[in-house]
A and B are shown apart, each in its own frame.
Chain A
Amino acid sequence: MDAILLQILNGLDKGSAYALIALGLTLIFGTLGVVNFAHGALFMIGAFCSVTLSRLFSLSHKVEVPGETDFLGNPLKKDVPYLYDIFGESTGAAIIDWAVPLSILFAIPIMLAVGYAMERGLIKHFYKRPHADQILVTFGLAIVLQEVIKYYFGANPIPTPAPSAFTGSFDFGAMLGFDPNTIIYPYWRLVYFAFAVVIIGAVFSFLQFTTFGMVVRAGMADRETVGLLGINIDRRFTIMFGIAAAVAGLAGVMYAPINSPNYHMGMDFLVLSFVVVVVGGMGSLPGAVLAGFLLGVLESFASMREVIDLIPGINQVIIYLVAIIILLTRPRGLMGRKGVMED
């Protein structure tokens, strides 16, 4: 029982990332009809927003420490972040410590701008071209984005710690009456899960309760009709693309402490997120979220010792296997509308 609970918890953080990326992918597909292979790159850019802000915060200058010398006899110099000068030492240190959550504020305008530029500059010209062309050009864009990041940040993963308040683990087992230390779970992953739930909730309520969202949903259902009503759906779709980019970016920002960002993390997540979208149903928002969490949890179950002993290697392929079975038996996915790309 405790093992099962642990696996569910373990699946949640990865599932959250899958769900957030897939949400954006399916939003773009549903509204714009575009298959975006560069979406993983947006996730990666988000993660590097965290990296950038932590570095900016840590920018420092040398200050001599009075009365001390190094081993060569020169006066000892120590790095003092500029933030200490501005806010004083304790506030400054706290800001540096909280760089990752603070990056959210920093990343939102950046991701919206990146999404806007991508849609207006490139994607717009591909609405009428075949899906294969969309895949190819966004694949090219993904390569370009990841190479740019690699150029500036190097090829190695960059550790980006969570605030020290969240470094420990939470003992679920003790809370639920199991033996202590049987179910322990890092705090930051709990934060990530809660964050994902908030973002998903925000996107859904935005679509559900605002007129903007209503028009977009109508547009997803039937693009031509809404166009006939004289509503400028194209502009709204551009904004939608920006939002999708922001969701992927924020997913990346908060993921940085879980997995040190590297330039190819976007590609790694892209393939899996596509699988998630397909399993959930192309163009279905609840489907993407459901499938994201489902596959995340399924993956962590498949990594259990007992399961691997039974079917070796199952943890590596479970997601793909599910996708293949779904595609062959129910091509519209778990919650996809009938007829969407069903051929």
Chain B
Amino acid sequence: MFGLEKKDTSLLLIVAVLTMFAPFILNPFPTDSALAQFNAGYPDLMQRFVIFGIFAIGFNILFGLTGYLSFGHAAFLGVGSYAAVWMFKLIGMNVLPAILLAIIVSGLFSVIIGYVSLRRSGIYFSILTLAFAQMSFALAYSVLTPITGGETGLQLALDDPRILGVSQTAEGNIPVPSLFGLEMRSTAELVVGPWEFVFNVGYYTSALFMLASFYLAIRIFRSPFGMMLRAVKSNQQRMNYTGLNTRPYTLAAFVISGMYAGLAGGLMASMDPLAGAERMQWTASGEVVLMTILGGAGTLIGPVLGAGFIKYFENIFSKINDNVLHGWFAFLPDGMEDFVVFIIHPFIGKGWHLTLGILFMMVVIFLPGGLVEGGQRISSWVRGRKSEDKAKGKTEPAE
């Protein structure tokens, strides 16, 4: 189906089902229960899951396939956001043209940066991308303030022209982003017994873009082009002596991943129409690196998992505080309880980044294939035990 192998089709379908039913899946706990704080099915977080999923899928096309480690991809996301907000200011509040312009602008931007950076490889490439991104960040903060809004960021205003829309609504407010009249923020709620599920237009729009991005990534992975990119990672020397010019291949991968980042940036601006320079900082680029590696670089589903994992724990883990912990460990004797809470305390709440850093180091050291490799190891271990059992089962009757 869709020109995919059977295995890939089922992967795509699974991801499609999971994203479409995410409002249910992510809200497994009744609203009043103590566990409700682990519910992730609210629009803001769900949007972030899929948007960062797109960002990571794109980053993986560059890093996972070609092995070129960019530390400046957040710049493309930032540029995409700015482009989209400008579209809202000048043209109108429809998200499609905004997202389209975001993709185009970040694509052009990545052609320039990629053309220069890809003249070097290895650590030099990483540092070049880092330097470019920091430069963009510094400029966005200072000189480019007329375009970027500087420190306050780029925001919509009541007197924006919006030539295809209205400058302000009848009530005198700034209009909100919409898809042909369907407002991104509009939300339907479904109450089933003690459960409450939220369906948000913005989330579903982003989710559809994510599915399209995922599908495109599968096609690229399975194409001769994708194979060439993996060959670049494996042995550039052999590429050159096989009559292949590596530079356009890497540049194409770079630009594609830049456009993915632009799409993510455009969607981000569509969900919340403002853009700030901090989105371009190199620590933001580091975040997408973390997502991709944590999930599994070079795998299809890994980056999506990594993005979901990090965003979930960032939002949920950081909400756990000492009171919650005391609640969990109330069954322990008092002294023990305090001790356990004391031990766990640095890793939760605001300390979540510490947990993330440790986790990331563990993955790089022990599990270079990320969560995906972890899953594979577990499943092969389980299967190994099963087949052992089977083998035993077969031999026993014979004895």
Contact = CB atoms under 8 A, between A and B. Distances in A.
Interface string B126-138: 1110111011001
B361 A137 contact: yes
Interface residues of B, number: 41
B139 A144 contact: no
B10 interface: no
Main secondary structure of the interface of A (DSSP, over half): helix
B230 to A, nearest CB: 15
A212 B247 CA distance: 44
A338 interface: no
Contacts of A125: 365
A316 B283 CA distance: 18
B361 A140 contact: yes
Given A125-B365, A141-B357, A328-B116, A271 B286 contact: no
B120 A274 contact: no
A327 B358 contact: no
Contacts of A327: 120, 124, 127-128
Of the four ranges (under 10, 10 to 19, 20 to 34, 35 or more), the interface on chain A belongs to 35 or more
Interface in B344-399: 346, 350-351, 353-354, 356-358, 360-361, 364-365, 368
B392 to A, nearest CB: 38
B135 A317 contact: yes
Contacts of B350: 150
Given A141-B361, A144-B361, A136 B126 contact: no
Given A135-B123, A144-B358, A320 B132 contact: yes
Contacts of B354: 143-144, 147-148, 151
Contact of A274 (B116, B130, B144): B130
Given A140-B360, A151-B351, A320-B135, A131 B122 contact: yes
A275 B346 contact: no
Contacts, number: 110
Interface in B178-200: none
B123 to A, nearest CB: 5
B98 interface: no
Main secondary structure of the interface of B (DSSP, over half): helix
A143 B124 contact: no
B13 interface: no
A267 B122 CA distance: 21
Nearest to A148: B354
B119 A328 contact: yes
A45 to B, nearest CB: 15
A147 B128 CA distance: 27
B143 interface: yes
A313 interface: yes
A112 interface: no
Contacts of B143: 312-313, 316
Given A125-B365, A132-B69, A343-B121, A323 B127 contact: yes
B135 A136 contact: no
Contacts of A316: 135, 138-139, 141-143
A282 B127 CA distance: 12
A331 B142 CA distance: 29
B203 interface: no
Interface in A261-283: 267, 271, 274-275, 278, 282
B124 A35 contact: no
28 contacts: A122-B365, A125-B365, A131-B122, A132-B67, A132-B126, A135-B126, A136-B289, A136-B364, A139-B286, A140-B357, A140-B358, A140-B361, A140-B364, A141-B357, A147-B353, A148-B354, A275-B127, A312-B142, A313-B143, A317-B138, A320-B138, A321-B135, A324-B131, A327-B124, A327-B128, A328-B116, A331-B120, A343-B122
